[in-house]
Amino acid sequence: MTLAVFAVGAGALAARSVELAGDEGRHAVVVRRIRVGEHVLLTDGAGHGAECVVTSLGKHSLVADVLVRRSEPLPSPRLVVVQALVKGEAAELVVDLLTQVGVDAILPWAASRSVATWRGERGDKALGRWRSTAREAAKQSRRLRFPVVEPLHSTHEVATLLGGAAAFVLHEGAPAPLSGVQVPASGDVVLVVGPEGGVTDEELAEFAAVDAQAVRLGPTVLRASAAGAVAAGVLLSRTDRWR
């Protein structure tokens, strides 16, 4: 049986009994209609989890006793996706898919050809939606370690990040296929995904200057909302994480 997953605060799983309150407690009791005697999986999103049995219910909360504790080791290699801003509902789809696949960190990127822009309060709200989407997708995927969603990065900041990592930039005109790259067994693997209009020559040059390799995903050009998840799957399939 697949257990419903709910998030708790840091350190909560150290106790023998755990109270699930707030938005998570309300969702469990009111929306999911969890009842006394049911088993649930609670996680702090930082690699720790526990299978628990519900012992009591409140109006918008529940208490559960810990039965079995679980842990998820730090990922190796760690997969980071630099995702250019995309417009509309595609943005949340991108984050959802990347989280389901198993990406460890997602960095929004203000690429030259990004139609969407994040400025001021609008940017703060957009970042909040990305983080909320990642959290919910992680629970749906039964992940004990939620992906980190970083603040918006400029092209220069992305280039700085790529330096020293195993870095790959998706580009339909690249001669080398992503399926043929060597993926290290440890450290950071960084994948750069451009916007709807693609990565510019200037951006490619700046990334190449820090030894990021341009690669093509396949014989077709995928939408910006799907390319990252497909490419992440290709990379992860070449690591022990998927074996």
Domain residue spans of the chain: 4-71, 78-242
Q: What is the pLDDT of residues 118-128, one digit of tens each?
A: 999 999 999 99
Q: Tell me 95's DSSP state.
A: H
pLDDT at 30 over 70: yes
Contact 45, 7 (CB under 8 A): yes
Q: What is the rounded distance in angstroms from the CA atom of residue 198 to the CA atom of residue 212?
A: 16
Q: CA–CA distance from 40 to each of 22, 49, 54, 99, 178 (Å)?
A: 17, 10, 7, 21, 39
In order of 24, 127, 174, the CA distances from 120 in angstroms are 29, 11, 36
What's the pTM value of the predicted model, to 2 decimals?
A: 0.93
Domain 4-71 homologous superfamily, CATH: Hypothetical PUA domain-like; domain 1 (2.40.240.20)
Per residue in 84-110, pLDDT (tens digit) is 999 888 999 999 999 999 999 999 999
Question: Could you tell me which residues come within 8 angstroms of residue 120 by beta carbon, excluding any fewer than 6 positions away?
Answer: none
CATH number of 78-242: 3.40.1280.10
